[in-house]
Structure 1
Amino acid sequence: MASLQEDTVRQPLLHPQTSDIKSETTSSELEDVLSDPNLSLFQRLGRATWIESKLLFHLAAPAVIVYMINYLMSMSTQIFSGHLGNLELAAASLGNTGIQVFAYGLMLGMGSAVETLCGQAFGAHKYDMLGIYLQRSAVLLTLTGILLTVLYIFSKPILILLGESVEIASAAAVFVYGLIPQIFAYALNFPIQKFLQAQSIVAPSAYISTATLVIHLVISWVAVYKIGLGLFGASLVLSLSWWVVVVAQFVYIVKSDKCKYTWNGFSVQAFTGLPGFFKLSAASAVMLCLETWYFQILVLLAGLLENPELALDSLSICMTVSGWVFMISVGFNAAASVRVGNELGAGHPKSAAFSVVIVTMFSFIISVAAAIIIMFLRHVLSYGFTEGEVVAEAVSDLCPLLALTLILNGIQPVLSGVAVGCGWQTFVAYVNVACYYVVGIPLGSVLGFYFNLGAKGIWSGMIGGTAIQTLILVWVTFRTDWEKEVVEAKNRLDAWEDKKEPLLN
């Protein structure tokens, strides 16, 4: 019986999907072109760019749509809240950016452990391990979600302790209470999302997110304006929308033939090896959390300025726009992680290195274009969020810093995706600590408070930290020995692959 179970589990390795074979062939073609001595340098670069661009945009385009629509759900909730009044806008901004982003960063960061392992395992044709990694991550993130619930419940005293006004903290707490169900949607969504991305299955998530956004907008309008549920209703609908995404994606995994070799049902292995899996997840979480918390601290510091409501309103609008454009880079981040992880797992060092160059180039060009558009719209940007002329002037004044942030975000997130694909999370965490918390935040605080530059000073200092971090990542990536990374990926997968366990019915 044990032998039969083992043969059943190993069967996917002998009979991979047709789509997998096509992907593998294209990837091998890229490595062959880059290694072909009969082609000139110009011919190799031209053919390789065409092959990599097709692979990249097959991943990046749907991934950008998924991240942008998911972010647009949060942004639309903030817009609905903002049209209730300036206090409600400040409360939703603080609750969304000050509390919710904390959970988002932690969960997404822990989920990137799945991104590393699943990406490399898929490239190495160890398909049956992907479902195990997904389940382990979901277990760990759900346990983490229980701890985060406590943070949400006590959000009001925490915000007051951080120096926010009682009025804004009270309203923000009401908004945060409605986001508690969203925590556990995160716990399942991010492992599922990374599981699908590792297999280059991104389009279904884009369709699901698009349909959910339409439902979200309609229900939010009814809940906030027709039923009158206010801030609590707006955030509760946002939680519901995230659960719709989770359920739809899981149904796709179970029913789709594309996942029949990577999802073999629930397994007891999901509850084994958790301490070791937690270490990798924790390193991933620290890496990403230090990034997401960085700009969260910008908003919290703005709440300590002389006119906190104006500072929060103007900064939150800029951060919301930045976050929306940032989703493009996050889509390329996901594509970079998948491409690098798959190529390293498949033993293709030249393809991995070439993928890094192409994805960074495309992301940077798009980010520069977005920065130019923002500068053209700087005087009317805020009216999509609120009708106040004072806020509009403040937002216009911050737009040059917003444009510079967008340009930096065209590079930094992509290189973070490369780090995830290679498994460098711990190293990047150290870099983030030094650049963000030793340089950026102290410098921003000095400029903002000591030199009385306000929100512009805080943001300027923190941009300095981001610029230094970006330069370090560029330098490290440029000096990477990709042959060595292939060996490291093989050793990592050998260490993580477990003996097969019976599946649960």
Structure 2
Amino acid sequence: MEHENFSGIMNSDTSKMSNKLSFREESASSELEQILADTEAPYFKRLRSASWVELKLLYQLAAPAVIVYLLNNVISMSTQIFCGHLGNLELAAVSLGNNGIQVFAYGLMLGMGSAVETLCGQAYGAHKYEMLGVYLQRSAILLMATAVPLMAIYIFSKPLLMLLGEPVSIASAAAVFVYGLIPQIFAYAANFPIQKFLQAQSIVTPSAYISFGALVVHVSLSWLAIFKWNWGLMGAGLVLSFSWWIIVVAQFVYIVTSKRCRLTWTGFSLQAFSGLWSFFKLSAASAVMLCLETWYFQILVLITGLLKNAEVALDALSVCMTLSGWVFMISVGFNAAASVRVSNELGAGHPKSASFSVLVVTSCSFIISVMAAIVVMIFRDSISYIFTEGEVVAEAVSELSPFLAATLVLNGIQPVLSGVAVGCGWQAFVAYVNVGCYYLVGVPLGVLLGFKSDLGAKGIWSGMLGGTILQTIILLWVTLRADWEKEVQNAQSRLSTWDEKRQPLLLE
């Protein structure tokens, strides 16, 4: 009886905390809608007040996500920087390993792990706290099972890269690095469910501290392994894998020991093995749209490896893609914020707030990306020396800098619009758009310009930029023409359908 009373008190306290947080967010959301609907107030006064409310909401969502993604990306970037100082071959090998092999697994695992965010968010909102831990375990089981066949790609990376036409020297060196990344696949399988589990409860700051600590350890161990212990590319890959496992273990220890997770993590459960097929179908659907985008620029690296002077081209592209990936992490944070803000406002029946949120989040992301593009163009002749001391590579990076700047600007718009599409429930439409723009336009055009017109890496990148521009224009057109009143009705209809078809999943 005492235990039941204690549990009741805990549930009551947690519900109050959850309700208090929800009330704050709902109050801000309602305030924004009231400001925008007040047509009697001067236009610029409404704009100023609404922008202030929206920016505060946006900051609370985007800033923590950006920090986590940036820190995790810097871990991989630091490995590339260390290996780049060993020589051009090593830089090309790590570039091919990271962008040609690792990104394949990263995109698939991140996409599948995103299903946890949806289900955990629903369960947390419905106060089905114990189900969050079950979903975490269920997703980890599926991702670990997926990691096993993925491991074959890593093991046979050398013949696969050679089959794709990569030079033997680069393929051989890349394979050595990739062998050291095999433990990282399983770290991904555990990390993304844990990460989404925490995000569903708005627990992001601990992940940021953990990622920062892992970065410090990683940089120290990488320097020792590469320059002091002479472990080479294999050692660099193993240290990178070890650093990702530090993140996984530290986050799991936090879950087990933190009071904030005492109701959502109740221990390991056999219930995690039930309903795996339904969970797999949902996870696979979540992966499709993300993978189509993640693999797009991976193909750019693979195609560039087929050029005549592949080593210099890959080195230059490696530097550009690393910088692009770093700035892209900021856009990923805004992508998540856009998805949450739009879906929240549509679900709350606030069409004006949803439309205004799209404008604010897109503008913020665009301004930051333009600033990054300007910095790249200013330091175009020297920026490559962060990664390698080769003057030939520096000259090649300088030539590619305008394409990098254009990519950064587009990345300030396109990912945010994808987040808006997710918030509106346009995932299937965007998947078709991605296939058409990326793989039916961008890749063929890049191959044509790169090889038939003898433009090399610049031609390949130009063609693939064309695909991204076309996709961005389509998403902009759809977003600008959106009937937000109708989108509110569609959101309410989808919520009713979800309740009817998916609620049993929460009650398993």
Return the TM-score normalized by structure 1.
Answer: 0.91
How many Å separate the matches in 1 of 2:402 and 2:503?
49
Amino acid at match of 2:194: I
Q: Structure 2 residue aligned with 1:70, among 46, 68, 72?
A: 72
Q: Give aligned pairs, total.
A: 499
The offset of 1:163, in angstroms, is: 0.5
Which residue in 2 is equivalent to 1:358? Answer: 360
Structure 2 CA distance for partners of 1:194 and 1:74, relative to 1, 3 Å: same
The offset of 1:36, in angstroms, is: 4.9
Amino acid at match of 1:60: A
How many Å separate the matches in 2 of 1:191 and 1:342?
22
The offset of 1:21, in angstroms, is: 4.0
Amino acid at match of 2:402: P
| CA distances 1:15-57 after superposition (whole Å, capped 9, x unpaired) | 4434444334333433444445665554443322212211111
After superposition, the CA RMSD in angstroms is 2.6
| CA distances 1:229-278 after superposition (whole Å, capped 9, x unpaired) | 11111111111111111122222233333334444444444333332332
1:432-447 matched pairs, under 5 angstroms: 432-447=434-449
Q: Structure 2 residue aligned with 1:166, among 159, 165, 168?
A: 168
Equivalent pair of 2:128/2:506 in contact (CA under 8 Å):
no
Secondary structure of 2:29's partner? helix
Secondary structure of 2:451's partner? helix
Amino acid at match of 1:497: Q
How many Å separate the matches in 2 of 1:430 and 1:297?
18
How many Å separate the matches in 1 of 2:274 and 2:44?
50
Structure 2 CA distance for partners of 1:50 and 1:253, relative to 1, 3 Å: farther
The offset of 1:359, in angstroms, is: 1.2
| CA distances 1:438-475 after superposition (whole Å, capped 9, x unpaired) | 00000011001001111000000000000111112222
Equivalent pair of 2:450/2:458 in contact (CA under 8 Å):
yes
How many Å separate the matches in 2 of 1:108 and 1:440?
24
Which residue in 2 is equivalent to 1:287? Answer: 289
Residue 298 (structure 1) aligned with residue 300 (structure 2): yes
Equivalent pair of 2:165/2:306 in contact (CA under 8 Å):
yes
Equivalent pair of 1:120/1:342 in contact (CA under 8 Å):
no
Equivalent pair of 1:141/1:187 in contact (CA under 8 Å):
yes
Residue 392 (structure 1) aligned with residue 397 (structure 2): no
Higher alpha-carbon deviation: 380-389 or 274-283:
274-283
1:269-280 matched pairs, under 5 angstroms: 269-280=271-282
Which residue in 1 is equivalent to 2:31? Answer: 29
| CA distances 1:266-293 after superposition (whole Å, capped 9, x unpaired) | 4444333332332232222121111111
How many Å separate the matches in 1 of 2:409 and 2:119?
30
Q: Structure 2 residue aligned with 1:109, among 96, 108, 111?
A: 111
| Runs of 5+ unmatched residues, structure 2 | none
Equivalent pair of 1:164/1:303 in contact (CA under 8 Å):
yes
| Runs of 5+ unmatched residues, structure 1 | none
Residue 497 (structure 1) aligned with residue 500 (structure 2): no
Identity of aligned residues (%): 68
Q: Structure 2 residue aligned with 1:149, among 148, 151, 169?
A: 151
Secondary structure of 1:387's partner? coil
The offset of 1:428, in angstroms, is: 1.8
Q: Structure 1 residue aligned with 2:455, among 445, 453, 456?
A: 453
Equivalent pair of 1:119/1:345 in contact (CA under 8 Å):
no
Q: Structure 2 residue aligned with 1:224, among 205, 223, 226?
A: 226
Which residue in 2 is equivalent to 1:196? Answer: 198
How many Å separate the matches in 2 of 1:118 and 1:32?
30
Higher alpha-carbon deviation: 67-76 or 261-270:
261-270
Relative contact order, higher structure (CA 8 A, sep 6+): 1
Structure 2 CA distance for partners of 1:499 and 1:140, relative to 1, 3 Å: closer
Which residue in 2 is equivalent to 1:486? Answer: 492
Which residue in 1 is equivalent to 2:419? Answer: 417
Higher alpha-carbon deviation: 469-478 or 307-316:
469-478
Secondary structure of 2:504's partner? coil
Amino acid at match of 1:197: Q
The offset of 1:190, in angstroms, is: 1.5
Structure 2 CA distance for partners of 1:162 and 1:268, relative to 1, 3 Å: same
Secondary structure of 1:497's partner? helix
Higher alpha-carbon deviation: 346-355 or 215-224:
346-355
1:309-388 matched pairs, under 5 angstroms: 309-388=311-390
Structure 2 CA distance for partners of 1:463 and 1:122, relative to 1, 3 Å: farther
Which residue in 1 is equivalent to 2:209? Answer: 207
| CA distances 1:105-131 after superposition (whole Å, capped 9, x unpaired) | 111111222333444555666655544
How many Å separate the matches in 1 of 2:392 and 2:458?
16
Residue 468 (structure 1) aligned with residue 473 (structure 2): no
Equivalent pair of 1:120/1:344 in contact (CA under 8 Å):
no
The offset of 1:157, in angstroms, is: 0.8
How many Å separate the matches in 2 of 1:82 and 1:313?
9
How many Å separate the matches in 2 of 1:384 and 1:231?
19
